[in-house]
Amino acid sequence: MAAINAANEGHALAYGEDAHTKACEQAFNELFDAEVITRLMFNGTGANVAALGTLMASIPGPNHAIVCTDWSHINNDETAAPERVLSTKLMDVPTTDGKLTPDQIKEVADWRGQVHHPQPALVSITQPTELGTLYSIDQVVAICHTAHELDMLVHMDGARIGNATASLGGSRETLRAFTIDAGLDAISFGGTKNGCIGAEAVVFLNPEAAVGSQFVQKQVTQLPSKQRYIAAQLNALLAEDLWIALGQQSNAMAQQLHTAVKDLPGIEAGQPPAVNSIYPMLPPEVIVPLQEWSFFWDWDPSKHQVRWMSAWDTSGDDVAAFVAGLRSLL
């Protein structure tokens, strides 16, 4: 908010022709240690649509489909926005851990050339996944290698990229290892779930796949006129790697919560969290009163399973208070 307030002093040209946006573009070049193409967006759904739409436009032909998992955010949590806006097909493959594999990509690619079936041309993975799991660096490398061998491009939905980076090593080198060095073509770099008021970036790590991205950005209603306010937020987030520190904080609080509840009677806490989400199963009678006091989403009602997320600003006191409330209900 302080960064936005500072950007509000004086006047600036619109649509990214301002000093804050230029500084933000350079900050992403430094983050990935390469000349990347950065487009600033309002929200995560728009960022994913703009990224996928641009990648589709860089591949000849109008018949592309997007390969993802059945748990991916673009498949489950964006109200079919990619399909509606881009007029394409999401080919969602079943997974138990939310992660796509090279073999699944190869299997889906066998559909190509058959006129009655969708023609996969893009792969989209979510890091971390909607199940709170993580692709290892080697797994991302393998996916990109397989996809590129099949002349497919690869996108990463990184709405919680700070959490993934914090968990896998906690440095810029870590980020590069599972993104640009792994062979990703584009990433939706999330800010909103990591402390920003509303700021996302689509970063094209493969500049050849970014041709026309400025036009796609406008077409899908993601071009801010007062872009300096988006840029200011991301500049603050990237400065001194605040985005990693906030990811580390939320991850640590999820681990603290898991430790505090895993031995409580009637609670099945599941595996220790890899990032900032846990998926416990609770006695059914405590779920609604607990939600009314401190809201969280149901996950699998058939198993009385819920999802608890810690945030970039969750504190140890917050965790202690939540656990105390849970204990009182139990």
How far is the C-alpha of 14 from the C-alpha of 225, rounded, in Å?
Answer: 5
Whether residue 175 sits in one domain with residue 300: no
How far is the C-alpha of 176 from the C-alpha of 54, rounded, in Å?
Answer: 22
Whether residue 153 sits in one domain with residue 114: yes
- Alpha carbon 207 to chain centroid distance? 20
Q: Which two tokens stand for residue 70?
A: 């059945």
| Measured CA angle at 111 (ends 108, 114), to 5 deg | 170
Query: For residue 34, what are the CA distances in angstroms to 3, 180, 181?
Result: 25, 9, 10
Domain range enclosing 275: 244-329
Q: Is the dihedral of CA 159, 163, 169, 172 positive or negative?
A: positive
Contacts 24+ apart (CB under 8 A), 71-74: 71/95, 71/98, 71/126, 71/129, 71/130, 71/131, 72/98, 72/124, 72/125, 72/126, 72/129, 72/130, 72/157, 73/44, 73/48, 73/126, 73/130, 73/157, 73/159, 74/48, 74/124, 74/126, 74/157
Whether residue 183 sits in one domain with residue 96: yes
Q: Provide the 3-class DSSP secondary structure of residue 204.
A: strand
Whether residue 249 sits in one domain with residue 234: no
Whether residue 280 sits in one domain with residue 217: no
Q: Provide the 3-class DSSP secondary structure of residue 101.
A: coil
- CB 232 within 8 Å of CB 7: yes
Whether residue 301 sits in one domain with residue 219: no
> For position 296, which CATH number holds?
3.90.1150.10
Whether residue 89 sits in one domain with residue 230: yes
> For position 71, which CATH number holds?
3.40.640.10
- Alpha carbon 203 to chain centroid distance? 12
- Listed in sequence order, the DSSP H helices in 58-160 are 73-76, 81-86, 102-109, 137-149
Q: Which two tokens stand for residue 8?
A: 């509000």
Q: Name the amino acid, one letter, at 89.
A: K
How far is the C-alpha of 13 from the C-alpha of 222, rounded, in Å?
Answer: 17
Q: Name the amino acid, one letter, at 123.
A: V
Q: Which two tokens stand for residue 49?
A: 């649509």
Q: Is the dihedral of CA 156, 159, 160, 165 positive or negative?
A: positive
Q: What is the pTM of this model?
A: 0.96
Q: How many domains does the chain have?
A: 2
Query: For residue 75, what are the CA distances in angstroms to 106, 221, 222, 284?
Result: 20, 20, 20, 28
- CB 21 within 8 Å of CB 217: no
Residue among 215, 192, 217, 212 nearest 202 (CA): 217
For residue 19, give every residue at least 6 positions away whose Cβ sits within 8 Å of its Cβ, in sequence order, or none: 12, 228
Question: Which residue's entry shows tokens 């860089």?
Answer: 58
pLDDT in tens, the chain (330 residues): 999 999 999 999 999 999 999 999 999 999 999 999 999 999 999 999 999 999 999 988 777 999 999 999 999 999 999 999 999 999 999 999 999 999 999 999 998 989 999 999 999 999 999 999 999 999 999 999 999 999 999 999 999 999 999 999 999 999 999 999 999 999 999 999 999 999 999 999 999 999 999 999 999 999 999 999 999 999 999 999 999 999 999 999 999 999 999 999 999 999 999 999 999 999 999 999 999 999 999 999 999 999 999 999 999 999 999 999 999 999
10 Å CB burial of residue 192 (0-12, 13-18, 19+) is middle
What is the DSSP secondary structure assignment for residue 8, as one 8-state letter? T
Whether residue 91 sits in one domain with residue 60: yes
Whether residue 318 sits in one domain with residue 214: no
| Residue at a domain's end among 204, 226, 241 | 241
Whether residue 72 sits in one domain with residue 150: yes
| Residue at a domain's end among 241, 264, 284 | 241
Whether residue 84 sits in one domain with residue 27: yes
